[in-house]
Structure 1
Amino acid sequence: MDTENPLSTVWPLPVRGEPFHRADAESLRRMDAISAATACAKLHTMGITRTAVQGPTALETGSRVVGSALTLQFMPQREDIASGHGQEYIERDTALWAVLETVQPGDVLVVQAWGSAFTGCFGDMLVRYFKRRGGAGIVVDGRIRDAARVRRLGVPIWCTGTTPHYASQTDLFPWAYDVPVAAGGVLCLPGDVVVADDDGAVIVPAAKAPALIQDAEDHEDWESFSRMRLEQGARLSDYYPLSANSRAEYELWRDSRPKLPAQ
């Protein structure tokens, strides 16, 4: 094997997509108060119906993350282009290593891995480096390795499970980054917003984020009011969802609260 140029010239790798814009800090700050369930429901009413990433679950209960999507795409191996042979020489020249060098603080790495049960997309060293660069979390439609060490790093991760395999050991190969990816049946574009918690990961289209924030902030607020009234013994049908009367009651409650100073 040519260790100086280990990847095939049939199709130059790694593939990198076009530059993209990340969400601004204020939008992410406001989005941080919105649950994955609320984001998913509000996007549905806006006509975006496939946003919940199917398969990956939180590696650690209680995990939560909000951030701009950085994307990584695995593709099936084909021996004339890329395979896992000579892993110590190969993987460092792939999209897997390359995308980690582009991580910015607050990024959430979203990975297309086809739900593979045999591909350990990330392990201790890579997650450790991701964390050091300021990465906020990882959503991978596939598996990770070195689970015990990865848990100790405290990086929020959503995945389909664990495996002892390294990233290119079996059927997939790190192919491209900064490209559209399919994760758990959901399209994710670089720069979309990821909201993930114990309910799973939701992809918020970047252009829909401002409207979602405005609508969801009101939703989260009146749910807090409804929760309070239910705890006080009110009828569910009167307060979830709000009726015309309870909506008026909520608005009086909202407007009577002390106003918080501007951030």
Structure 2
Amino acid sequence: MSDSSAPFPRPAFDLPVRGGAYQRADPDTLRELERVSAATACAKLHGMGISRSFVEGPRPLAEGQRIVGSAITLQFMPQREDLASGHGQEYVERHTALWHVLEQVQPGDVLVIQAFGSRYSGCIGDILARYFLRKGGVGIVVDGRIRDSDRIKDLGLPVWSTGTTPHYASQTDLFPWAYDVPVAVGGALCMPGDIVIADGDGPVIVPQAMAGSVVESAQDHEDWEVFSRLRLDEGARLSDYYPLTPDSREEYEQWRSVQAFAR
């Protein structure tokens, strides 16, 4: 008869897992994307052939939040008692990918967390959020939940999550497994170094190599939408100004020239 109290034989596998080296997004590109909404970025990527850039599920913790930053990634995986579990309570987490990824944070980073939409794993709490913010992190996107939500809100740290929970990170069936690896969040793939644009519509993942094209296309789009809003507010017909017709495009180009001269 087997002894159920005996320790599990442990596979020869080291945790946490860390992915390979990667380059963060260029700061100039991030600045250029500051003017681009999540909706515009998503639409432009769709036109370029990227059909799934929207992170479905996470919502902003507070109204009026907006971030643009370079993605660093954290992956939760199902617990398995012979490899990793939360049985040692939250103290075990200091040796996991959750602590390791926070030590890698640089100014302008967005932490993107794969947690399978878990309703019980509090992937980030107040203390970790404070540390992330002090190191220059600009926001967190969690395909799962957070804890200490009131304190995090008071910090002013922008967070998108699927909700809140009183649980700490490994108090349920997931465990902080890997960092600097590809993650799946809300049905979208995020690679380390990709760009995250998040606002009231939700987070969008912009592949780093396509960011320049998104900037070029989106700037014109955002500008003509400003022009169209002005004309519609003045009583113009929707079909003449949204989207632009050849005639209203010519009018827009003249308007834009005047705006550029005025600057």
Alpha-carbon distance in structure 2 between the residues aligned to 1:179 and 1:129: 21
Paired residue type of 1:74:
F
Match for residue 123 of structure 1 among 122, 125, 150: 125
Q: Residue in 1 aligned with 2:7?
A: none
Which string of whole-angstrom CA distances, capped at 9 and with x for unpartnered residues, describes residues 90-114 of structure 1? 1000000000000000100000000
Which string of whole-angstrom CA distances, capped at 9 and with x for unpartnered residues, describes residues 140-167 of structure 1? 0000001111110111000000000000
Alpha-carbon distance in structure 2 between the residues aligned to 1:227 and 1:18: 46
Which string of whole-angstrom CA distances, capped at 9 and with x for unpartnered residues, describes residues 197-244 of structure 1? 000000000111000000000000000000000011100000000001
Which string of whole-angstrom CA distances, capped at 9 and with x for unpartnered residues, describes residues 24-54 of structure 1? 1110011010000000000000000100001
**Does the 8 A contact of 1:52 with 1:203 survive in 2?**
yes
Alignment of 1:41-60 (within 5 A): 41-60=43-62
Identity %: 67
Which string of whole-angstrom CA distances, capped at 9 and with x for unpartnered residues, describes residues 34-88 of structure 1? 0000000000000001000011000101100000000000000000000001124
When the two chains are superposed, the root-mean-square deviation of aligned CA atoms in Å is 1.1
Paired residue type of 1:65:
I
Alignment of 1:158-177 (within 5 A): 158-177=160-179
Match for residue 112 of structure 2 among 104, 110, 113: 110
2:120 paired with 1:143: no
The secondary structure found in structure 1 opposite 2:91 is helix
Alignment of 1:1-263 (within 5 A): 10-259=12-261
Paired residue type of 1:227:
R
Alpha-carbon distance in structure 2 between the residues aligned to 1:190 and 1:233: 46
Q: CA deviation at 1:195?
A: 0.2
Q: CA deviation at 1:260?
A: 7.2
Q: Unaligned regions of 5+ residues in structure 1, if any? A: 1-7
Q: CA deviation at 1:255?
A: 1.2
With the length of structure 1 as denominator, give the TM-score of the two structures. Answer: 0.95
Q: Residue in 1 aligned with 2:5?
A: none
Q: Unaligned regions of 5+ residues in structure 2, if any? A: 1-9
Q: CA deviation at 1:23?
A: 1.1
Runs ≥4 residues deviating over 3 A:
258-261
Which string of whole-angstrom CA distances, capped at 9 and with x for unpartnered residues, describes residues 109-146 of structure 1? 00000000010000000000000000000000000001
Alpha-carbon distance in structure 2 between the residues aligned to 1:77 and 1:257: 57
With the length of structure 2 as denominator, give the TM-score of the two structures. Answer: 0.95
The secondary structure found in structure 1 opposite 2:35 is coil
Matched positions, count: 254
Q: CA deviation at 1:9?
A: 5.6
